[in-house]
Homo-oligomer: A and B are copies of this chain.
Amino acid sequence: MNNLDLSLYLVTDRGMSKGRSHEYIVEEAIKGGVSMVQLREKDISSRDFYQLAFSLKQTLVKHQIPLIINDRLDIALAVDADGLHIGQSDLPYNVARQLLGADKIIGLSVETVEQARLANALDVDYIGLSPVFSTLTKSDINTPLGLNGIKEIATFSKHQMVAIGGINKENTADIFRSGAHGVAVVSAIVSHESPFQAAKELRNIIDQL
Protein backbone atom coordinates (compact mmCIF):
# COMPACT_ATOMS: atom_id res chain seq x y z
CA MET A 1 0.00 0.00 0.00
CA ASN A 2 2.18 2.83 -1.26
CA ASN A 3 -0.23 5.71 -1.30
CA LEU A 4 -1.36 5.39 2.29
CA ASP A 5 -2.56 8.74 3.62
CA LEU A 6 -2.47 8.55 7.40
CA SER A 7 -2.60 12.30 7.86
CA LEU A 8 -6.07 12.57 9.41
CA TYR A 9 -7.29 9.16 10.50
CA LEU A 10 -10.73 8.94 12.08
CA VAL A 11 -11.38 6.13 14.58
CA THR A 12 -15.04 5.58 15.38
CA ASP A 13 -16.53 5.25 18.84
CA ARG A 14 -20.26 4.74 19.13
CA GLY A 15 -20.25 5.50 22.85
CA MET A 16 -18.77 8.94 22.26
CA SER A 17 -20.82 9.85 19.18
CA LYS A 18 -23.75 11.33 21.13
CA GLY A 19 -26.25 9.04 19.49
CA ARG A 20 -25.30 10.03 15.95
CA SER A 21 -24.75 7.25 13.41
CA HIS A 22 -21.34 6.26 12.09
CA GLU A 23 -22.54 7.18 8.60
CA TYR A 24 -23.40 10.72 9.67
CA ILE A 25 -20.15 11.23 11.60
CA VAL A 26 -18.05 9.73 8.83
CA GLU A 27 -19.72 11.61 5.98
CA GLU A 28 -19.26 14.89 7.78
CA ALA A 29 -15.68 14.12 8.79
CA ILE A 30 -14.79 13.19 5.22
CA LYS A 31 -16.17 16.48 3.98
CA GLY A 32 -13.89 18.05 6.55
CA GLY A 33 -10.85 16.22 5.22
CA VAL A 34 -10.43 12.85 6.94
CA SER A 35 -8.11 10.58 4.93
CA MET A 36 -8.79 7.17 6.50
CA VAL A 37 -11.46 5.62 8.74
CA GLN A 38 -11.15 2.86 11.29
CA LEU A 39 -14.26 1.09 12.59
CA ARG A 40 -13.64 0.07 16.17
CA GLU A 41 -16.36 -1.82 18.00
CA LYS A 42 -16.33 -3.65 21.30
CA ASP A 43 -19.17 -5.45 23.08
CA ILE A 44 -21.19 -5.94 19.94
CA SER A 45 -22.44 -9.09 18.25
CA SER A 46 -20.61 -10.29 15.16
CA ARG A 47 -23.78 -9.75 13.14
CA ASP A 48 -24.10 -6.14 14.27
CA PHE A 49 -20.40 -5.48 13.67
CA TYR A 50 -20.73 -6.97 10.20
CA GLN A 51 -23.76 -4.84 9.39
CA LEU A 52 -22.11 -1.64 10.63
CA ALA A 53 -19.00 -2.41 8.62
CA PHE A 54 -20.98 -3.29 5.52
CA SER A 55 -22.92 -0.06 5.69
CA LEU A 56 -19.82 2.05 6.37
CA LYS A 57 -18.04 0.41 3.46
CA GLN A 58 -20.73 1.71 1.09
CA THR A 59 -20.22 5.22 2.40
CA LEU A 60 -16.43 5.07 2.15
CA VAL A 61 -16.22 3.50 -1.29
CA LYS A 62 -18.20 6.46 -2.59
CA HIS A 63 -15.51 8.80 -1.30
CA GLN A 64 -12.57 6.50 -2.05
CA ILE A 65 -11.51 6.59 1.59
CA PRO A 66 -9.99 3.37 3.01
CA LEU A 67 -11.95 1.45 5.63
CA ILE A 68 -9.85 -0.23 8.29
CA ILE A 69 -11.43 -2.68 10.75
CA ASN A 70 -10.13 -2.81 14.31
CA ASP A 71 -9.13 -6.26 15.60
CA ARG A 72 -11.72 -8.40 13.82
CA LEU A 73 -10.15 -10.03 10.79
CA ASP A 74 -13.36 -11.91 10.05
CA ILE A 75 -15.28 -8.66 9.71
CA ALA A 76 -12.54 -7.20 7.51
CA LEU A 77 -12.76 -10.25 5.23
CA ALA A 78 -16.54 -10.32 5.29
CA VAL A 79 -16.91 -6.77 3.97
CA ASP A 80 -13.69 -6.76 1.95
CA ALA A 81 -12.36 -3.84 3.97
CA ASP A 82 -9.16 -2.13 2.88
CA GLY A 83 -7.34 -3.27 5.95
CA LEU A 84 -7.11 -4.30 9.58
CA HIS A 85 -5.74 -2.56 12.63
CA ILE A 86 -4.39 -4.88 15.29
CA GLY A 87 -3.24 -4.24 18.82
CA GLN A 88 -0.84 -6.21 20.95
CA SER A 89 -3.73 -8.36 22.27
CA ASP A 90 -5.19 -9.12 18.87
CA LEU A 91 -4.22 -11.77 16.33
CA PRO A 92 -0.47 -12.04 15.74
CA TYR A 93 0.63 -9.95 12.76
CA ASN A 94 1.93 -12.89 10.72
CA VAL A 95 -1.36 -14.74 11.05
CA ALA A 96 -3.30 -11.66 10.03
CA ARG A 97 -1.07 -11.03 7.03
CA GLN A 98 -1.34 -14.60 5.83
CA LEU A 99 -5.13 -14.52 5.96
CA LEU A 100 -5.58 -11.02 4.54
CA GLY A 101 -2.99 -11.19 1.79
CA ALA A 102 -0.27 -8.80 0.74
CA ASP A 103 -2.57 -6.19 -0.79
CA LYS A 104 -4.42 -5.17 2.36
CA ILE A 105 -3.33 -2.52 4.83
CA ILE A 106 -2.32 -3.80 8.25
CA GLY A 107 -1.61 -1.37 11.05
CA LEU A 108 -0.19 -2.34 14.42
CA SER A 109 -0.51 -0.45 17.69
CA VAL A 110 2.69 -0.07 19.65
CA GLU A 111 2.50 1.14 23.21
CA THR A 112 6.20 1.33 24.03
CA VAL A 113 9.48 2.14 22.32
CA GLU A 114 10.41 -1.53 22.66
CA GLN A 115 7.28 -2.62 20.78
CA ALA A 116 8.12 -0.12 18.05
CA ARG A 117 11.57 -1.72 17.75
CA LEU A 118 10.01 -5.18 17.44
CA ALA A 119 7.65 -3.87 14.76
CA ASN A 120 10.65 -3.14 12.55
CA ALA A 121 10.86 -6.89 11.93
CA LEU A 122 7.33 -6.90 10.48
CA ASP A 123 6.12 -5.59 7.15
CA VAL A 124 3.15 -3.76 8.65
CA ASP A 125 1.89 -0.82 6.64
CA TYR A 126 1.97 1.57 9.56
CA ILE A 127 2.33 1.64 13.30
CA GLY A 128 -0.04 3.39 15.65
CA LEU A 129 1.68 5.08 18.59
CA SER A 130 -0.78 4.54 21.40
CA PRO A 131 -1.37 6.59 23.39
CA VAL A 132 0.62 9.67 22.64
CA PHE A 133 -1.25 11.64 25.32
CA SER A 134 -3.56 10.48 28.07
CA THR A 135 -7.14 10.00 27.01
CA LEU A 136 -10.51 8.91 28.30
CA THR A 137 -11.35 6.91 25.17
CA LYS A 138 -9.54 3.72 26.09
CA SER A 139 -9.53 2.37 29.61
CA ASP A 140 -6.65 -0.09 29.39
CA ILE A 141 -3.81 2.15 28.38
CA ASN A 142 -0.14 2.37 29.16
CA THR A 143 1.86 5.43 30.07
CA PRO A 144 1.53 7.97 27.25
CA LEU A 145 4.48 8.02 24.85
CA GLY A 146 4.43 11.82 24.61
CA LEU A 147 6.12 13.87 21.94
CA ASN A 148 9.48 12.57 23.12
CA GLY A 149 8.29 9.01 22.49
CA ILE A 150 7.34 9.91 18.93
CA LYS A 151 10.72 11.58 18.39
CA GLU A 152 12.61 8.58 19.73
CA ILE A 153 10.64 6.07 17.65
CA ALA A 154 11.04 8.28 14.57
CA THR A 155 14.83 7.89 14.83
CA PHE A 156 14.70 4.15 14.11
CA SER A 157 11.27 3.06 12.86
CA LYS A 158 11.06 2.03 9.22
CA HIS A 159 7.29 2.39 9.27
CA GLN A 160 4.91 5.25 8.75
CA MET A 161 3.57 6.33 12.12
CA VAL A 162 0.19 7.63 13.23
CA ALA A 163 -0.26 8.94 16.76
CA ILE A 164 -3.43 8.28 18.74
CA GLY A 165 -4.70 9.41 22.12
CA GLY A 166 -5.67 12.88 23.25
CA ILE A 167 -5.24 14.46 19.82
CA ASN A 168 -6.67 17.96 19.41
CA LYS A 169 -6.18 21.25 17.59
CA GLU A 170 -3.59 22.38 20.09
CA ASN A 171 -1.19 19.43 19.80
CA THR A 172 -1.60 18.27 16.19
CA ALA A 173 1.16 20.43 14.71
CA ASP A 174 3.63 19.32 17.40
CA ILE A 175 2.83 15.67 16.72
CA PHE A 176 3.70 16.03 13.05
CA ARG A 177 6.82 18.04 13.89
CA SER A 178 7.89 15.20 16.18
CA GLY A 179 7.93 12.82 13.25
CA ALA A 180 4.44 11.32 12.97
CA HIS A 181 2.87 10.97 9.53
CA GLY A 182 -0.62 11.33 10.85
CA VAL A 183 -2.97 11.78 13.76
CA ALA A 184 -5.66 9.26 14.64
CA VAL A 185 -8.58 11.08 16.16
CA VAL A 186 -11.54 9.80 18.14
CA SER A 187 -13.36 12.16 20.48
CA ALA A 188 -12.14 15.43 18.96
CA ILE A 189 -14.21 14.51 15.90
CA VAL A 190 -16.90 12.03 16.95
CA SER A 191 -17.93 13.98 20.06
CA HIS A 192 -17.73 17.40 18.40
CA GLU A 193 -20.96 19.26 17.75
CA SER A 194 -19.87 19.46 14.11
CA PRO A 195 -17.68 16.55 13.01
CA PHE A 196 -17.25 18.43 9.73
CA GLN A 197 -15.93 21.53 11.44
CA ALA A 198 -13.70 19.51 13.78
CA ALA A 199 -12.13 17.60 10.90
CA LYS A 200 -11.75 20.73 8.80
CA GLU A 201 -9.87 22.57 11.53
CA LEU A 202 -7.46 19.68 11.96
CA ARG A 203 -7.08 19.36 8.19
CA ASN A 204 -6.21 23.03 7.92
CA ILE A 205 -3.55 22.70 10.60
CA ILE A 206 -2.04 19.69 8.85
CA ASP A 207 -2.11 21.31 5.40
CA GLN A 208 -0.31 24.37 6.70
CA LEU A 209 2.62 22.36 8.07
Measured CB to CB, the nearest residue on chain B to A48 is: B89
Contact call B50/A78, Cβ cutoff below 8 A? no
A91 in the interface (beta carbon within 8 A): yes
Q: A72-B74, A74-B77, A77-B74 given as contacts; is B48 within 8 A of A95 (CB)?
A: no
Interface size class of A (residues with CB under 8 A): 10 to 19
Closest 10 interchain pairs by CB?
A73-B74, A74-B74, A45-B89, A46-B90, A47-B89, A78-B95, A46-B91, A77-B99, A50-B91, A46-B71
Question: Can you list 25 pairs linking A and B with CB atoms under 8 Å apart?
Answer: A45-B90, A46-B71, A46-B72, A46-B86, A46-B90, A46-B91, A47-B88, A47-B90, A47-B91, A47-B92, A48-B89, A50-B91, A50-B92, A72-B74, A73-B74, A73-B77, A73-B78, A74-B74, A74-B77, A74-B91, A77-B77, A77-B99, A78-B91, A78-B95, A78-B99
Q: How far is the CA of A74 from the CA of B69 in the complex (A)?
A: 13
Which residues on B sit within 8 Å (CB–CB) of A45? 89-90
Q: How far is the CA of A176 from the CA of B160 in the complex (A)?
A: 59
Q: How far is the CA of A90 from the CA of B86 in the complex (A)?
A: 21
Q: Mark A37-74, 1 if CB is under 8 A from B, else 0.
A: 00000000111101000000000000000000001111
Measured CB to CB, the nearest residue on chain B to A72 is: B74
Q: Which of A20-46 contact B (CB under 8 A)?
A: 45-46
Which residues on B sit within 8 Å (CB–CB) of A86? 46
Measured CB to CB, the nearest residue on chain B to A73 is: B74
Which one of A48, A72, A77 has the greatest number of beta carbons of chain B within 10 Å? A77
Q: Which of A149-191 contact B (CB under 8 A)?
A: none
Which one of A74, A86, A91 has the greatest number of beta carbons of chain B within 10 Å? A74
